[in-house]
Structure 1
């Protein structure tokens, strides 16, 4: 009988070791699913002095987005930008857009500029500098389209136009002003032909 107890001893020790191993594994294992509290809207990461470059199919820089700070929220995949500046460079007339604040959609295709929105198109030999001011502007950077449902003020040289709303397509080159539109238009004096 004593020899039988000695033969079961290694099996009992192995069973105890296996049980202790399973128990230790269970108490030390962390929950593999991270539970996100959807009621909390807290940033999951931030970045300071952000610079993002977008290239066209030929490899030229299409635009550069710079912001003092970027804040990303994991609960809804939204992004906020503090003091964003967007420069369109791959065009004959460089354009700069800036504002105090902006939000970026989850897919990155829509940017909403908020507070002190300012756009400037550089002067060209045949065109004076043009600017636009508003408090809110939705921009689709890749399509070079924008829309404002807030009042806008456009200037080009001495010409000043104010409107209640605006839509623009920079690729096609048209601007549609809507609502009450008023302004003062100045024509360039044509150069006399010999």
Structure 2
């Protein structure tokens, strides 16, 4: 009888310790959400620098991260057309340093005098908004007028001077104007 009492007591103690651990473990919980988000960041001279639009934004209290539904980001350039980046979903780190655009990603820049249009499709893009830098390890397909480039992996610095680094398996087709 005494042995049964000791076993039951130990079992109850173990159960209460597990319940206490579950209560003190932080949970990935939503503290607020917004629908129809449209946020514009201005530069020091008062011109738009970056714009983020999303159908829904869900913020999590434990790590200060944010999930985005159908995010669309615009990176403005002083003398050239802006870059437009959109994806299926996104995740923004709590400090705002990293934006992960998940699923299919499209990057566009329209033509202007002296500027060729650019259309890039890829997947799972990592964005460092502060540096106007994007990268992916996925397949990349880029088009500009009749020219096209396909590659595996890419890095782009979207501020002047714009640089694009294609990482592997690069194939291109270029149309020569007469």
**1:187 corresponds to 2:139:** no
Q: Is the 8 A contact 1:123 1:129 kept in 2?
A: yes
Q: Please list, as runs of the form range in 1=range in 2, the aligned pairs for 1:83-162 lying within 5 A after superposition.
A: 83-91=70-78, 92-162=80-150
Partner of 1:164: 152
> Gaps (5+ residues) in structure 1?
1-34, 190-194
CA distance 1:109–1:184, shift in 2 (3 Å):
same
- Across the two proteins, how many residue pairs are aligned to each other? 154
- Give the whole-Å Cα distance in 1 for the aligned partners of 2:150 and 2:35: 35
Give 1:126 shift.
3.1
Q: Is the 8 A contact 1:63 1:90 kept in 2?
A: no
Give 1:73 shift.
0.9
Partner of 1:11: none
Higher relative contact order (CA 8 A, sep 6+): 2
The Cα offsets for residues 116-164 of structure 1, whole Å up to 9 and x where unpaired, read as: 1001001113343211111111111221111111111111011111111
Partner of 1:76: 63
Higher gyration radius (CA): 1
The Cα offsets for residues 43-79 of structure 1, whole Å up to 9 and x where unpaired, read as: 1111101111111111111111100000111112111
Give runs of ≥4 in structure 1 deviating > 3 Å.
none
> Gaps (5+ residues) in structure 2?
1-22
Q: Is the 8 A contact 1:129 1:156 kept in 2?
A: yes
Give 1:95 shift.
1.2
Partner of 1:63: 50
- Give the whole-Å Cα distance in 1 for the aligned partners of 2:46 and 2:177: 37
Q: Please state whether the residue corresponding to 1:120 is helix, strand or coil.
A: strand
Give 1:37 shift.
3.6
Bigger fraction of residues in strand: 2
Aligned residues: CA RMSD: 1.5
For normalisation by structure 1, the TM-score amounts to: 0.75
